[in-house]
Chain A
Amino acid sequence: MSDTEFSDEILMAFADGELDEETMRRVEAALETDDELMARVAMFMETRAAASEALKPVLDEPVPDELVAKVRAMAAAAGDAARAADAPAAAGDNVVAFRRPADQPASPNGSPSRFLMAMAASLLVVVGGAGGYLLRGGGLADPGGVPGAMQVAGTVGPALSAILDKAASGDEVALGEGQGTVRLVSAFELGSGQLCREYELAQPGEPGLVSVACRKASTWQTRLAVTRPEGGDGYAPASSLETVDAFLTSIGAGQPLDADAEKKALGGSK
């Protein structure tokens, strides 16, 4: 079954945590293999974060004293009037109460996608593959950071590929002349048997990235890269690792391979 026919509204509702359980699982399943779909979801996540962040400063503006004083005065007057007449004023014609059933949680469904929650909270997510997509948390990322980040999306370059092919987890390997270092975190297999690796990339002048790449026909494809901006103010960054964790769960990653199994898998069918 292919689920490429999700409408924008469905994907938006997924990004907003408004989907029913069943549809949410369907979208999640489709996201495992469809980077383009991921890009569409990411757009909705990013616009939400960007809008929320952009209008935050307005909340911090002091409410004009005059306005506060007037509202207090009106409240006091309304209290007097109510006591005097003991009858509701007629002004509230279009005032309609909002009913929220007591059993309705703030979030429309009880078990929001864990992957989604983590991804939404993360500040920078690069989803690799053909539709390599950059999700900048709240639109805050310095655009100057984009080119560097984009390098890691899609097919992994030869230098990094060679490292991913050979280096044991736990190793830290230099990428080459001033290119930074790669620290291999783990190797694991997907349900399909596809080999993937989690690694951290430290490049001069770029934010550190935690990445997941999977090997397909000898080629390493970046599936996800997350980072957090240095010194972002007032926007609590969620743990990047939590995002990676949730992502791994969502793509059906197995437990990290032990040293022997890893060696075997790396050397095996490339």
Chain B
Amino acid sequence: MTDPTIVFGERLVAFLPNLRRFAISLCRSRDVADDLVQAACEKALAGSDRFEEGTRFDAWMFRILRNLWIDQLRRQKTAGPTEEIEAQAELAVPSGEAGSEARMALKSVAAAIDGLVLEQREVLILTCVEELSYKEAAEVLGIPIGTVMSRLARARKNLAEATGIEPPVARSQDMRGGTR
């Protein structure tokens, strides 16, 4: 018989790349992210019996990690004026990769995501990158779905603007003479 905790641990290990990516996008620092991932795993293992089979493991882990990060930010805020730990574009593709134009384009999108405020960044990552539904993202973040949607829409408009993705034409009156 396999030890369920070991099984859970392996599941966690398999999920590390995604968890780490989410952490990096939150902290914008790989070193800080790795510590955060470790802390989240510790917490998850301690509470592994609370994970319900049939529910989304990724959402469960994202929530644990994100709560730890928010706690950490709060502590930093009360401890001193440090707001953002690192403002570098840590999400950007490491240099040394073939500098094709496609790579450059990716880099600029990653940098633009890095430039978003945390509340927009996290909702963007959860939905557009990790493919959680609005509802699942709302549960991870502990906010209403409506808030997820308004933050996400703003995040994407900002991203479009920052990366030169064609901005939508400003909304205008219906020119075709329809009623309202």
- Report the bound CA distance from A89 to B24 in whole Å: 28
Is the C-beta of A263 less than 8 angstroms from some C-beta in chain B?
no
Q: Is the CB of B41 within 8 A of A74?
A: yes
Cβ of B83 within 8 Å of any chain A Cβ, yes or no, is no
- Min C-beta distance of B115 to chain A, whole Å: 12
Interface residues of A in 56-102 (CB under 8 A from B): 57-61, 63-64, 67-68, 70-72, 74-76, 78-79, 82, 88-100, 102
Interface bits B19-46 vs A (CB < 8 Å: 1, else 0): 0110011000000001001100111111
Q: Decide if A82 touches B5 in the complex (CB within 8 Å).
A: yes
**Segment with Cβ contacts to B, from A47-55, A168-176, A190-198, A205-213:** A47-55
Q: Which residue of B lies closest to A95 (CB)?
A: B47
Contacts of A39 in B (CB 8 A): 166, 168-169
Contact B64 A52 (CB under 8 A): no
Residues on A with beta carbons closer than 8 Å to the beta carbon of B129? 51-52, 55
Q: Is the CB of B174 within 8 A of A2?
A: yes
Let me know if B102 and A232 touch, CB within 8 A.
yes
A5-B180, A43-B168, A74-B41 known; A55+B21 contact, CB < 8 A:
yes
Which residues of chain B are near A100, meaning CB under 8 Å?
54-56, 136
Q: Are B168 and A98 in contact, CB atoms less than 8 angstroms apart?
A: no
| Nearest chain A CB to B21 CB, angstrom units | 4
11 A/B residue pairs, CB under 8 Å, sorted by A: A9-B149, A50-B159, A51-B124, A88-B49, A92-B44, A95-B64, A100-B136, A139-B105, A140-B106, A143-B101, A233-B102
A-B pair count, CB < 8 Å, reads 232
- Asked whether, in the complex, the Cβ of B157 is within 8 Å of the Cβ of A63, the reply is no
Evaluate contact between B101 and A142: CB separation under 8 angstroms.
yes
- State the CA gap A82–B49 with chains docked (Å): 10
Query: In the bound complex, what is the Cα–Cα distance between A89 and B44 (angstroms)?
Result: 10
Question: Once the chains bind, are A136 and B20 in contact (CB under 8 Å)?
Answer: no
Interface size class of A (residues with CB under 8 A): 35 or more
Does the CB pair A36–B168 fall under 8 Å?
yes
Interface flag for B153 (CB, 8 Å): yes
CB distance from B83 to the nearest CB of A (A): 23
| Contacts A46-B165, A94-B64, A102-B54 given; does A58 touch B47 at CB 8 Å | no
Measured CA separation A54–B101 after assembly (Å): 13
Tell which of B4, B6, B91 touches A54, judged by Cβ atoms closer than 8 Å.
B91
Q: How far is A108 from B138 in the complex, measured between Cα atoms in Å? A: 14
Whether A33 pairs with B5 at a CB distance below 8 angstroms is no
A95 contacts B156, CB within 8 Å? Answer: no
B163 touches which one: A2, A71, A139, A142 (CB < 8 A)?
A: A139
Among B60, B125, B128, B153, the residue within 8 A (CB) of A97 is B60
Per the bound structure, the CA–CA distance linking A9 and B144 in Å amounts to: 14
Known: A88-B50, A97-B55, A143-B101. 17 other contacts (CB 8 A): A2-B179, A8-B157, A12-B153, A33-B176, A43-B165, A47-B156, A50-B163, A50-B165, A51-B109, A51-B113, A52-B131, A70-B38, A78-B9, A89-B47, A90-B46, A93-B47, A98-B60
Query: Within 8 Å CB of A61, what residues of B?
Result: 17, 20
- Interface assignment of B59: CB less than 8 Å from any CB of chain A: yes
Most B CB within 10 A of own CB, among A50, A74, A144: A50
CA distance A94 to B169 in the complex (A): 43
Residues of chain A lying within 8 A (CB to CB) of residue B16:
63, 67-68, 71
Whether B128 and A47, one on each chain, are in contact in the complex, defined by CB atoms closer than 8 angstroms, is yes
Contact of A43 among B45, B48, B160 (CB under 8 A): B160
Residues of chain A contacted by B152 (CB below 8 angstroms): 12
Checking B44, B105, B157, B165 against A95 with a beta-carbon cut-off of 8 angstroms, the contacting residue is: B44
